[in-house]
Chains A and B, each alone.
Chain A
């Protein structure tokens, strides 16, 4: 019986530039925290070995303290860790790995497979075949050597690789670093642990992508998991359990707003979010000033509640109603200007016209409020 925890694509050192600095630092910290959770998970499930299938680091030149933090976060599991480099942290002549070794940051229970050589763990009757990336991009199948690699009889043969299985994944991920889809059978592997694809993906019962343990993008791809893999015996079919490891939920939402009830629905959804949600919300539709005002208030409240709320509002239009205008007391030429801007929202500089309209409405509203309070 062999129990593996399969994970990949930690991408430590990734920054979240599109976010506010405090949000970005929390999201970055969450990735380090995920390592701790993986270690705890491994410890709790009596895992024999943790396999990390590449892209542990997001870049080669990360700060020394980042390197230390990664290995420190692994402390909770004192068993065997096996790491291979991916395309982001390839084992170049000088790499994040050579630095980690120089820094003395790598604990004894962590094996770095920087060369394509079998790692034989006799105690576990396990022969690991790693396919580390030693260049930033390769266009040859680094797992090819698995086919001819010897392993002691009665040993589990487990492959560890980083790249894209040919003909299975769409073109949106790196097409470099190819991996033959029939590698498992050709190399007689009991299991092939893959990295590179950020979501959980089963290629076949013996070949899985674990995905990143902490989501890092809005594109929905089922990330935020790790795989608990159990093998009863060599050549037995593995049982694979998907475990949640993510801390933040990333949402990409679109709402079309036309009437009050549309705004109601949006508000309801917003109310369901908390500080573990990272949201990208795009809105479209035409609102009168009153409704727009209400929407703004709701969005402001949501900003305070969720971890991050990014808004796409450029398809939203403002159409002041007669009532709005009456309320704003926008008579004379100010009224004319409002009319002009309202119509221009659909034109070439629609955004500017809408901004101008909201600005003017706000000013008039303020004036009205001031007059009322006098």
Chain B
């Protein structure tokens, strides 16, 4: 198709007519600034085709002129035919189409156009994008180059036809798609779309089936349980019956009774045994007594002999003791005499020694008396001396402190005198011999010095009187002070009773001496009479008394032969002591023997009596009778004991053969068994009652009938599930088959279009490929990555606006190629397309467009004339096209 000319009158922006008289077969570039009317021009072409001339479209009027009659006239060629179209809207509406020399008018003309170009008219009002078909795809409106899916789908019918014609195959029309959609819908009623899991009624049936299985399992369990309990009941009843028949309980009771009897018997025997034991013990005691009696008889007989022997022995002993007694008496008498004699000797010796000792004591006392007398004399002298010294001390007593104070006063006076001498007027005189002078009261002669302290009168005999007044200041005061002190000293001395200080000092020294004497005397005194003179006098008196006593004793004592030697008293005493001991020993022996003799005599007497008693007893007549009786009795008891012993042994044997513990255990075991059996019986009875109760209530629930009903429903649900499953499988199979077939067909149909696409894509992106969906809409771009190492896929929607715009144009050109090859009219319009492309991409797009222009007529509207300068075509500025300017 080739547009030849276009005339637009009173159309929207253009109140003035616009005329394009020539279109190039390839690219036609229309330029102009914004608002210049580029889009209006593109719109005019669109309107001429898409809008019905009868439609009410006031928006077509120029703004300034509501009475206008917008008109579009255009001429084009297609397949060697010449087309002329004139359409007027709103006023004097017309549509005229001439094809070569054939003319069409009104709706007929519009029908022709629709068929030729491949679009639809809207039923009423302005046309809709959905009706635009092929031109809607190829005529890109401003800013919509990137929109591809919708325009393609609106043109799909015609494109599909074209492709089918090219491939020579039928896709069973649109029917197959609705078939698939219907099958999908049916499948969706059974299975989820994505995962293909059961849903809806199918799912419900499955769930119901499972729930029923669960319930069935539970019921089965309940039934099994029920049956098990029925069996348990039967077993218990059988057991009960069996035991009743066998009388097991009675048997055990009888056994128990027997065991108890055995135990009682055992206990009786035990008692018997112990009574036997008791009897034996009693007999034993009696036998022992009898034996003792019998022994007594024997012993008496034996005693007779021993008594005789004892009597003889005691007689012998008695004789012996008596003989010894006589001897001992003799010895004792002799020792006593000897002792008495020596005692007299000793007494005499003692008297002699006593006299001698008393004489010596007297001498000693007299000596002591003399010494004491001397001491007393001396002590009396010393006491007198002490008295005397004390008297003298009292006479000389002087206050030592006062003397010390006087010495201090005297020292002060001396100091004053020294000051006076220093301050005094010195008078040196050297008188001629025997010349004298009177100085005061003093008489001066010879040579000498004196000092004048006071006003002194010097009388020079013969000459007169010189009154000398010492000139030194204070002398007078000194003199006064000296006089005062001297006065004080004098008074003190007077008080003390001394004439001078020197005398006082002497008296003090005398006193000190006296003190020493006194101390000495006192020490001597205490030596001589430590307890005083009175004590000495008493001592003396005592001594005198002792002496007198001794003298008296001596006068009364035996006469002493002072020449005779003194006896050895100690040896005598010693000897006396030995003699005494000897005597006492002898005496003691004698006494002892006396006692022994007495005892021997008593013993002998007793033995003799004992023997006589025994002899009397032995010779008694009843004794023999008694012995016979005892012997008899003993034998009888012995016999009885043997019998008891035998019985005891028998009993013991019998008891040992069946031990008590075993018998007791028997009783315990059997009574326990009886208890247990009774317990079991009770438990069984209880169990039976309980089971019967439970079973009767459970039986009423009709488990098996319920189960049968559930099983029926389960079977039905399974049937239902299997029907659903079969249907689902069938649908699945059908859909798989149909869809895979369609997919293969689509690929086959798309092949020519893909070829065209690849041609342009090769120019834009080297090695890229574009995937189309079933509706022929491009969806996926695959190209090499920036690094070139791998290929990357992009959803078309995810690409940048510029890239989408470029791909939008490329796809449209490919569709156009396809259409062209099928003899379909192709006119391509780009209204301000590709404005978002960078220079490099735009360059490639220009190559694309240039290439396309070799097959199609292209109308490019742009406000960027510079961008399109290298397209190799002349630009036509819109403003130059407006007539009348």
Q: Which of A8-16, A141-149, A173-181, A182-190 contacts B (4 or more CB under 8 A)?
A: A8-16
Q: A16 near B712 (CB under 8 angstroms)?
A: yes
Asked if A352 is an interface residue, CB under 8 A from chain B, the answer is yes
Residues of B within 8 A of A99 (CB): 696, 699-700
Q: In the complex, what distance in Å separates the CA atom of A144 from the CA atom of B182?
A: 72
Q: Considering only CB atoms, which chain A residue lies closest to B701 in the complex?
A: A61
Q: In the complex, what distance in Å separates the CA atom of A20 from the CA atom of B720?
A: 11
Q: In the complex, what distance in Å separates the CA atom of A349 from the CA atom of B709?
A: 33
Asked if A359 is an interface residue, CB under 8 A from chain B, the answer is yes
- With A13-B705, A62-B704, A94-B699: A334-B176 Cβ-Cβ less than 8 Å: yes
A136 → B minimal CB distance (Å): 8
Q: Considering only CB atoms, which chain A residue lies closest to B182 in the complex?
A: A363
Most chain B CB within a 10 A radius of its CB, from A15, A18, A360: A15
Q: A352 near B726 (CB under 8 angstroms)?
A: yes
Residues of A within 8 A of B713 (CB): 17, 21
Residues of B within 8 A of A334 (CB): 172, 176, 179, 738, 741
A139 → B minimal CB distance (Å): 17
Q: A17 near B696 (CB under 8 angstroms)?
A: no
Asked if B237 is an interface residue, CB under 8 A from chain A, the answer is yes
Partner of A17, one of B230, B701, B708: B708
Most chain B CB within a 10 A radius of its CB, from A61, A351, A367: A61
Q: A337 near B708 (CB under 8 angstroms)?
A: no
Q: In the complex, what distance in Å separates the CA atom of A58 from the CA atom of B608?
A: 131
Partner of A102, one of B170, B696, B704, B737: B696
Partner of B170, one of A16, A24, A331: A331
Residues of B within 8 A of A92 (CB): 230-231, 233-234
- With A356-B731, A364-B179: A332-B714 Cβ-Cβ less than 8 Å: no
Q: A333 near B176 (CB under 8 angstroms)?
A: yes
Partner of B733, one of A17, A20, A329, A352: A352
For residues 1 through 38 of chain A, which have their beta carbon under 8 Å from a beta carbon of chain B?
13-21, 24
Q: In the complex, what distance in Å separates the CA atom of A26 from the CA atom of B281?
A: 104
Q: In the complex, what distance in Å separates the CA atom of A293 from the CA atom of B789?
A: 62
Asked if A319 is an interface residue, CB under 8 A from chain B, the answer is no
Q: A356 near B712 (CB under 8 angstroms)?
A: no
Q: Considering only CB atoms, which chain B residue lies closest to A136 in the complex?
A: B227
Q: In the complex, what distance in Å separates the CA atom of A333 from the CA atom of B738?
A: 7
Asked if A193 is an interface residue, CB under 8 A from chain B, the answer is no
Q: B711 near A17 (CB under 8 angstroms)?
A: yes
Q: B731 near A24 (CB under 8 angstroms)?
A: no
Q: Considering only CB atoms, which chain B residue lies closest to A314 in the complex?
A: B726
Q: B702 near A62 (CB under 8 angstroms)?
A: yes
Q: B696 near A61 (CB under 8 angstroms)?
A: no
Asked if B548 is an interface residue, CB under 8 A from chain A, the answer is no
Q: B172 near A15 (CB under 8 angstroms)?
A: no
Asked if A277 is an interface residue, CB under 8 A from chain B, the answer is no
Contact with A along B153-193 (1 / 0, CB 8 A): 00000000000000001111001101100110000000000
Q: A20 near B716 (CB under 8 angstroms)?
A: yes
Contact with A along B221-264 (1 / 0, CB 8 A): 00100110111011011000000000000000000000000000
Partner of B171, one of A18, A95, A332, A337: A332
Q: In the complex, what distance in Å separates the CA atom of A333 from the CA atom of B714?
A: 41
Q: A18 near B715 (CB under 8 angstroms)?
A: yes
Residues of A within 8 A of B705 (CB): 13, 15, 59, 61-63, 66
Asked if A48 is an interface residue, CB under 8 A from chain B, the answer is no
- With A21-B716, A61-B223, A94-B692: A15-B711 Cβ-Cβ less than 8 Å: yes
B173 → A minimal CB distance (Å): 8
For residues 349 through 376 of chain B, which have their beta carbon under 8 Å from a beta carbon of chain A?
none
A11 → B minimal CB distance (Å): 11
Residues of B within 8 A of A331 (CB): 170, 172
Asked if B328 is an interface residue, CB under 8 A from chain A, the answer is no
Partner of B730, one of A21, A330, A337, A355: A355
Asked if B745 is an interface residue, CB under 8 A from chain A, the answer is yes
A270 → B minimal CB distance (Å): 22
Q: In the complex, what distance in Å separates the CA atom of A353 from the CA atom of B731?
A: 10
Residues of A within 8 A of B685 (CB): none
Q: B230 near A93 (CB under 8 angstroms)?
A: yes
Q: B741 near A336 (CB under 8 angstroms)?
A: yes
Q: Considering only CB atoms, which chain A residue lies closest to B715 in the complex?
A: A17
Residues of A within 8 A of B716 (CB): 17, 20-21
Asked if A341 is an interface residue, CB under 8 A from chain B, the answer is yes
Partner of A60, one of B704, B708, B731, B745: B704
Asked if B339 is an interface residue, CB under 8 A from chain A, the answer is no
- With A18-B715, A92-B230, A333-B745: A356-B734 Cβ-Cβ less than 8 Å: yes
Q: In the complex, what distance in Å separates the CA atom of A15 from the CA atom of B842?
A: 83
Asked if B580 is an interface residue, CB under 8 A from chain A, the answer is no
Partner of B741, one of A17, A18, A93, A333: A333
Asked if A133 is an interface residue, CB under 8 A from chain B, the answer is no
B426 → A minimal CB distance (Å): 179
Partner of B695, one of A94, A358, A364: A94
Asked if B780 is an interface residue, CB under 8 A from chain A, the answer is no
Q: In the complex, what distance in Å separates the CA atom of A364 from the CA atom of B716?
A: 31
Q: In the complex, what distance in Å separates the CA atom of A164 from the CA atom of B727?
A: 46
Q: B709 near A333 (CB under 8 angstroms)?
A: no
Q: In the complex, what distance in Å separates the CA atom of A330 from the CA atom of B737?
A: 14
Q: Considering only CB atoms, which chain A residue lies closest to B178 in the complex?
A: A367
Residues of A within 8 A of B696 (CB): 94, 98-99, 102
For residues 351 through 374 of chain A, which have their beta carbon under 8 Å from a beta carbon of chain B?
351-353, 355-356, 358-360, 363-364, 367
Q: In the complex, what distance in Å separates the CA atom of A332 from the CA atom of B709?
A: 51
Residues of B within 8 A of A351 (CB): 726
Q: A94 near B691 (CB under 8 angstroms)?
A: yes
What would 9 more interface pairs be, CB under 8 Å, given A61-B701, A337-B737, A359-B727?
A24-B712, A59-B708, A61-B226, A61-B705, A92-B233, A330-B172, A333-B744, A363-B183, A367-B178
Would you give 15 A-B contacts (Cβ < 8 Å), ordered by A? A16-B712, A21-B716, A60-B699, A61-B702, A94-B230, A98-B696, A332-B745, A334-B172, A334-B176, A341-B737, A349-B729, A355-B727, A356-B729, A360-B734, A367-B175
Top 9 A-B pairs, shortest CB-CB distance: A17-B712, A59-B704, A332-B172, A63-B702, A333-B741, A355-B730, A15-B708, A93-B234, A93-B233
Which residues of A are in contact with B by a Cβ distance under 8 Å? 13-21, 24, 58-64, 66, 92-96, 98-99, 102, 329-334, 336-337, 340-341, 349, 351-353, 355-356, 358-360, 363-364, 367
Which residues of B are in contact with A by a Cβ distance under 8 Å? 169-172, 175-176, 178-179, 182-183, 223, 226-227, 229-231, 233-234, 236-237, 691-692, 695-696, 698-706, 708-709, 711-716, 726-727, 729-731, 733-734, 737-738, 741-742, 744-745
